[in-house]
Structure 1
């Protein structure tokens, strides 16, 4: 254990750089996933006939092995962070789309009818009732997407994207257990911190009466 702390002290700057690279790729993918996944979730909640197709496509990406998807994307995007973020993005879609769809469908129809009876427009119902009432479930999907993205990012060093995977795979190649352990611990710590941060946002923006039990 002492040797691990010494190694971290001697390589502090490099480990910080790798951690920042790791976090950037993972969160960039999640952000793009949110920007596209939430509208798709809203769409299939409105157009039920699209639900099966959209969820099937999103689920299909989850079944593709990471290395196979990355290898395919490299043909068009080459090596680097662009390929990594694009691959990670596809793995964030399903939990975000599904949580948005589930959250909107969990709202009692009587609540929507009451809002219409009060004279609220469709946009007012969406922003003042549907979104606030579905936030708790939506944040669950975002948390899952973030954790999956951070975990999968470790593989992206194989396409020259950097991140903590570089530390792990370099340690494997050199048979250096310290590098492997440190890389894995930092990735796990990163996932934990990001998950807690998203939980904080959930508590901050979700009404107390609408929070779900963790």
Structure 2
């Protein structure tokens, strides 16, 4: 109970909510890094996943590369990029994008490849061309898995963006790193709690988005399928 009281007291201190090192500023920085990384990953991974899934060409190479990237430790990638480029935001973004691309790419590819071939044949029989089949049939059918990949990537990025503090920039990880260096346990726990709350907010946001953009029939179908 004493530790919980210490964490609550840390949150209650006015200086935690004002100034360049306050919670609102650190939260905004963390969200900014995370959104940049997720957007960059989506710009890279979704077109590649759609193209390889639709054409059936290059899929094995793309998925193999994505699975290889999954095995890379994020802090290791960050260290290598820092050694090559120096400190700053770019190394953090490179590491976070490398973390976010694999789930988005794999789920996009699997979503498109998983569309029933009878449906695509029927669409082509109605006179649809390749691009029309992709946009009118395959992408809507693949949307549950695409959103799942984006949600997975977003949670991973939000949780891992704390590494920004290790290379001298801000974000919620600043509380954790500074708390470790100063041995202030309530600050470490407070920073970790803020990251957890942000990850939960991201999960809720994607749940709402899923209900808005996916038809009820597709939601039921994807719910019955194993999650990636």
TM range (shorter): over 0.9
Q: Matches of 2:148 and 2:119 in 1, distance apart?
A: 23
Corresponding residue number in structure 1 for 2:143: 135
- Give the C-alpha shift of residue 201 in structure 1: 1.2
Q: Deviations over 1:19-72 (max 9, x none)?
A: 111111112111111111011112221454522222222222222222221111
Q: Matches of 1:43 and 1:161 in 2, distance apart?
A: 36
- Give the C-alpha shift of residue 192 in structure 1: 0.7
Corresponding residue number in structure 2 for 1:12: 17
Residue from 214, 220, 228 that aligns with 1:206: 214
Query: Does the CA contact (< 8 Å) of 1:81 and 1:160 recur in 2?
Result: no
Q: Matches of 1:205 and 1:67 in 2, distance apart?
A: 35
The runs of at least 4 aligned residues of structure 1 exceeding 3 Å deviation read 46-49
Gaps of 5+ in 2: none
Tell me whether 1:114 sits opposite 2:122 in the alignment: yes
Corresponding residue number in structure 2 for 1:184: 192
Cα RMSD, aligned residues only:
1.5
Q: Matches of 1:118 and 1:197 in 2, distance apart?
A: 37
The 3-state SS of whatever aligns with 1:31 is helix
Relative contact order (alpha carbons < 8 A, sep ≥ 6): 1 or 2 greater? Answer: 1
Q: Matches of 2:183 and 2:83 in 1, distance apart?
A: 31
Q: Deviations over 1:166-206 (max 9, x none)?
A: 10111111111110111000000001101211221111111
Structure 1 window deviating more from structure 2 (83-92 vs 62-71): it is: 62-71
Structure 1 window deviating more from structure 2 (90-99 vs 52-61): it is: 52-61
Structure 1 window deviating more from structure 2 (48-57 vs 82-91): it is: 48-57
Tell me whether 1:30 sits opposite 2:35 in the alignment: no
- Give the C-alpha shift of residue 81 in structure 1: 1.6
Q: Matches of 1:206 and 1:177 in 2, distance apart?
A: 43
- Give the C-alpha shift of residue 76 in structure 1: 3.6
Gaps of 5+ in 1: none
Query: Does the CA contact (< 8 Å) of 2:155 and 2:203 recur in 1?
Result: yes
Query: Does the CA contact (< 8 Å) of 2:54 and 2:112 recur in 1?
Result: no
Q: Matches of 1:110 and 1:81 in 2, distance apart?
A: 47
Give the alignment's TM-score, normalised by structure 2.
0.88
Q: Matches of 1:49 and 1:84 in 2, distance apart?
A: 32
Give the alignment's TM-score, normalised by structure 1.
0.94
